[in-house]
Structure 1
Amino acid sequence: MVPHYAIVGLGSRAELFARALAGSPRAELAAFCDQNQTRMRVHNEWLGTAVPSYRPADFVVMLEKERIDVVVVCTPDHTHADYVVAALRAGCDVVTEKPMTTDVDGARRILAARRETGRAVRVAFNYRYNPVHRRVRALLAEDAIGEIGSVEFSWLLDTAHGADYFRRWHRDKANSGGLLVHKSGHHFDLVNWWLGSGPETVFAVGRLFFYGEGSGHPDDRFALDVEASPRLRALYHDAEHEDGYVRNQDVFAPGVTIEDDVSVLVRHRGGVVLNYHLHAYSPREGYRVAFSGSEGRLELDVRENEHAADAGETTRARLTRQRQWEPPEVVLDEPLGEGHGGGDARMLAELLGDAEPDPLGCAADHDSGLQALLTGLAANRSLATGAPVAVDELLGEIGEPA
């Protein structure tokens, strides 16, 4: 028999998993769970299905009644731990959107439940499956530039995408852990995966500079016309009457408690140093990653959308290697695929058992989720205290060995 899946949290991200599950011969989409009945109905309409719908209060009842084997968690980040733990203790495996959780207590509870039950927790780090990122991983594994000394990572969110984190529930750090936990979890995981090591010491500085009350930048162009998009209108505007959630909050209104401009310095176990910067108000979107090694340098430059000031340039990636005393070599220069550079489709295929062999270790388990989370949690603590944070202190609070 094929495994039965349930999705909890039926916002826009859930559509990725719902469509894959509904169309797979290797899985049965057996249940939806959300506090908003309208959203569950909309997903069923989109899929042409009649998946049973449950409220969060009946989550455990749903798992038993629908004989659920795997739970996919797509709820707001601060609720991940509650659903992951309940699913594990009900005998289910879990696939959770990143981050695995948002705080030390959530990590402690998830890891304790996983040990107690022996069930699996997978974290949906889709960027690992991006072919360009896989190529970087392979080159580093082959010592293409020798021993790595340092990594420079600059991520730019533009004023379309970046502003969205300040319109939604993510704007409150109590809900999302801030961008260093929510968004940067992608990036910290990539670096951990590329290097094969997690963080040891973290220091961060940052602030809310551009968005938020009193920023001096109010502009109607930052508003999102939810009603102009049939999908957003159906999923959010037409569902507001049930739970009061407003998808398009004012990015310059009170209530923003996350940073929009942050620098993080990380010493990884083994000595490699990461210099990371994120800012969420750029005129263009993309990222640059550079690895400096004993035998040369590897540089990745990615333009992720067409909202840049020089609009019209295709979304693409350029990867260059330059060995000591040699001219630069362009390893690849190509357009990016759809869905996180093609990562979404490959991740879903792997989760549903249709993937190719995984020699690069793309699949991310609870430990990968923890290691990415540790960098974000330590950075948040450093922002609060103004001091470097030893990751072993966090591990001790979580109850995990260093």
Structure 2
Amino acid sequence: MKKYVLVGAGSRALFMFAKPMAKDWNHIVDFCGVFDTNLVRANLLSKECGGIPVFTDFHDMLAKTRPDTVIVASTDDTHHYYIIEALHAGCDVVSEKPMTIDEEKTRQIYAAEQASGKQVTVTFNLRFAPYFSTVKQLLQDGIIGDIYHMNMEWFLDRDHGADYFRRWHAELGKSGGLLVHKSTHHFDILTWWANSAPKQLQAFGKRRVYGDHGQPKGERCMTCDYTADCAFYKDITKDDFMNQYYVGAEAEDGYYRDRCLFDERIDIYDTMSVNLEYANGILLNYSLVAYSPYEGFRATINGSKGRLELSNIYRSADMKEADQNTIVLYKEDGSKEIMEVVSEAGGHGGGDAKLLQAIFEGGVSDPLGQQANSSAGAESLMIGVTANRSIAEGNPLLQIPTVSELRG
């Protein structure tokens, strides 16, 4: 039985890792400690998981529990620190995506991984969702021949999309922006499908809805004077989890979970597009908006022998309530074939459960390459990092650092 400890006690840490380890996988997982800089949240998580030991110091947790694996689910800008310290302590690491938020931190992680001989796994759960893995299998089987061009349009609604701008994700220095924090999911899937390394890109980004546009605003929804006129007003005290884990924990660190969507601190984009070329010549057009009336994605993949049209509209942020998905194959002669893929129960269309099985059971057959290592983590995040740089520098075409360059 392997020993695991967890860094982070927010919603993702609780629902993706802590509860499953304590309840579903406790026959093969020894969940022996949790650390979070917010002690209130850490204690709440511990209570929900049967009294898991809470630590107030990360290194103390490592020394006293001597874990085999450290799961990192803290804020994105701190991932590298906990990953590196865990590797140097002789532990393998499971990191929530994104692995980190910039090039220098990625280089530091690689150096620690090479020096320690331990491994970093990145939790790209969409690879395990039946819809995305079916597409991978079809492409691997050559159903449309050689891939020439891909297009993906992803749209977040005015609840899920807006939520990123209420919290720490709204600051580029903490999350890398949505092109790193959110799009890393999408860039990983597209790179996985392309079966090639990203080569170069040009990107564009704007703040059209959120951020400071001179409108009346308060510090947070809970104390705002303009709630009656704000289409985005949200009372987080009506949600039991939010009320306990965030409102009830504010005195610990002053973190507000309902910051104003029009705050001056917001420096990430809500409207983004990226034009990218892969090393094997595949071209990609990608876009993301965070204020759509509804949520989902549409994609097309064009190849030498046909075209795949993909679409998924879902009704919850973790894709649990997705409609039945279809994959449409257009053949060279213009005929079409419709394939239905039913989403499975659980988060991200069943991807979360399958990912945890791969992590905790290990040794499972992986013909599609669904288990993502630090190289996959770096490739996806470096697309977002380079895209942010292109936007900041006036939209030039930029080369994307390769894994070998990052390894040094």
The CA deviation at 1:304 is 1.6
Q: Which amino acid aligns with 1:31?
A: G
- Superposed CA RMSD: 1.8
The equivalent residue for 2:43 is 41
Instruction: Establish whether residue 169 from structure 1 lines up as the match of residue 139 from structure 2.
Output: no
Identity %: 38
- 1:327-364 CA-partner distances (Å, limit 9, x unpaired): 21111154564311110111011111078522111100
Contact conserved, 2:130 with 2:341, CA < 8 A, in 1?
no
Taking the aligned partners of 2:87 and 2:403, their CA distance within structure 1 comes to 23
Q: Which runs of 5+ in 1 are unaligned?
A: 308-312
Q: Indicate how the Cα distance of structure 1 residues 348 and 266 shifts in structure 2: closer, same or farther if over 3 A, else same.
A: same
- How high is the TM-score relative to the length of structure 1? 0.93
The equivalent residue for 1:331 is 339
Contact conserved, 1:346 with 1:355, CA < 8 A, in 2?
no
Local SS of the residue matching 2:150: strand
Q: Which amino acid aligns with 1:157?
A: L
Local SS of the residue matching 2:339: strand
Q: Return 370-379 or 385-394, whichever deviates more.
A: 385-394
**Which of the numbers 242, 252, 270 marks the counterpart of 2:280?**
270
Instruction: Establish whether residue 369 from structure 1 lines up as the match of residue 377 from structure 2.
Output: yes
Contact conserved, 1:60 with 1:90, CA < 8 A, in 2?
no
Q: Which amino acid aligns with 2:39?
A: Q
**Which of the numbers 363, 366, 373 marks the counterpart of 1:358?**
366
**Which of the numbers 286, 290, 297 marks the counterpart of 2:296?**
286
The equivalent residue for 2:51 is 50
The CA deviation at 1:68 is 1.2
Contact conserved, 2:84 with 2:108, CA < 8 A, in 1?
yes
Local SS of the residue matching 1:13: helix
Q: Return 240-249 or 325-334, whichever deviates more.
A: 325-334
The CA deviation at 1:315 is 2.6
Within-5 A mapping of 1:150-165:
150-165=149-164
Contact conserved, 2:130 with 2:343, CA < 8 A, in 1?
no
The CA deviation at 1:221 is 3.6
- How high is the TM-score relative to the length of structure 2? 0.92
The CA deviation at 1:392 is 3.8
Q: Which amino acid aligns with 1:332?
A: E
The CA deviation at 1:395 is 6.2
Q: Indicate how the Cα distance of structure 1 residues 333 and 365 shifts in structure 2: closer, same or farther if over 3 A, else same.
A: closer
**Which of the numbers 12, 21, 31 marks the counterpart of 1:29?**
31
Taking the aligned partners of 2:322 and 2:80, their CA distance within structure 1 comes to 39
Contact conserved, 2:246 with 2:256, CA < 8 A, in 1?
yes
Q: Which runs of 5+ in 2 are unaligned?
A: 218-228
The equivalent residue for 2:221 is none
Taking the aligned partners of 1:40 and 1:340, their CA distance within structure 2 comes to 25
Contact conserved, 1:378 with 1:394, CA < 8 A, in 2?
no
- 1:277-306 CA-partner distances (Å, limit 9, x unpaired): 000010010001110011110011000217
Contact conserved, 1:209 with 1:215, CA < 8 A, in 2?
no
Taking the aligned partners of 1:354 and 1:228, their CA distance within structure 2 comes to 40
Local SS of the residue matching 2:200: strand
Q: Indicate how the Cα distance of structure 1 residues 372 and 362 shifts in structure 2: closer, same or farther if over 3 A, else same.
A: same
Taking the aligned partners of 1:98 and 1:391, their CA distance within structure 2 comes to 19
Local SS of the residue matching 2:143: coil
The CA deviation at 1:214 is 1.1
The equivalent residue for 1:18 is 18
Q: Indicate how the Cα distance of structure 1 residues 216 and 316 shifts in structure 2: closer, same or farther if over 3 A, else same.
A: farther
Contact conserved, 2:100 with 2:106, CA < 8 A, in 1?
yes
The equivalent residue for 2:305 is 295
**Which of the numbers 245, 256, 259 marks the counterpart of 1:249?**
259
The equivalent residue for 2:397 is 388
Taking the aligned partners of 1:224 and 1:108, their CA distance within structure 2 comes to 40
